[in-house]
Amino acid sequence: MIVQSASFITSAPDLQRCPPVEWPEIAFAGRSNVGKSSLINCLLNRKGLVRTSSTPGRTQLLNFFVINENLYFVDLPGYGFARAPRSVRQQWQPMVHGYLKGRSTLRAVVWLLDVRRDPTAEDLEFLDWLEESNLPTIPVVTKVDKVSRNALPGRLKVIAARTGLEVEHFALFSCLKNTGRDELWERIVAAVESPRGQGEG
Ligand SMILES: Nc1nc2c(ncn2[C@@H]2O[C@H](COP(=O)(O)OP(=O)(O)OP(=O)(O)O)[C@@H](O)[C@H]2O)c(=O)[nH]1
Ligand SMILES: [Mg+2]
Domains of the chain: 6-193 (3.40.50.300)
Tell whether the model's pLDDT for residue 125 goes beyond 70. Answer: yes
Lowest-confidence region among 81-85, 86-90, 148-152: 81-85
Tell whether the model's pLDDT for residue 180 goes beyond 80. Answer: yes
Among 28, 47, 53, residue to substitute to test ligand 1 (most atoms within 8 Å of Cβ) = 53
Residue count of the chain, please give it.
201
Tell whether the model's pLDDT for residue 83 goes beyond 80. Answer: no
Task: Provide the CA 182 distance to its chain's centre, in angstroms.
Answer: 16
Q: To the nearest whole percent, how much of the chain has pLDDT over 70?
A: 95
Nearest residue to 27 (alpha-carbon basis) of 142, 171, 165, 137: 137
Instruction: Report d(CA 75, CA 28) in Å as an integer.
Output: 5
Centre of ligand 2 from the C-alpha of residue 20, in Å: 23
Tell whether the model's pLDDT for residue 76 goes beyond 80. Answer: yes
Average pLDDT on 164-172 reads 98
Q: To the nearest whole percent, how much of the chain has pLDDT over 90?
A: 81
Centre of ligand 2 from the C-alpha of residue 201, in Å: 32
123 backbone φψ class: left, alpha, beta (φ>0; ψ -120 to 50): alpha
- Give the model's confidence band at 201: pLDDT under 50 very low, under 70 low, under 90 confident, else very high: very low
Backbone φ, ψ for residue 171 (5° rounding): -85, 140
Pocket, ligand 1, Cβ cutoff 6 A: 30, 32-38, 52-54, 56-59, 77-78, 142-143, 145-146, 174-176
Centre of ligand 1 from the C-alpha of residue 1, in Å: 22
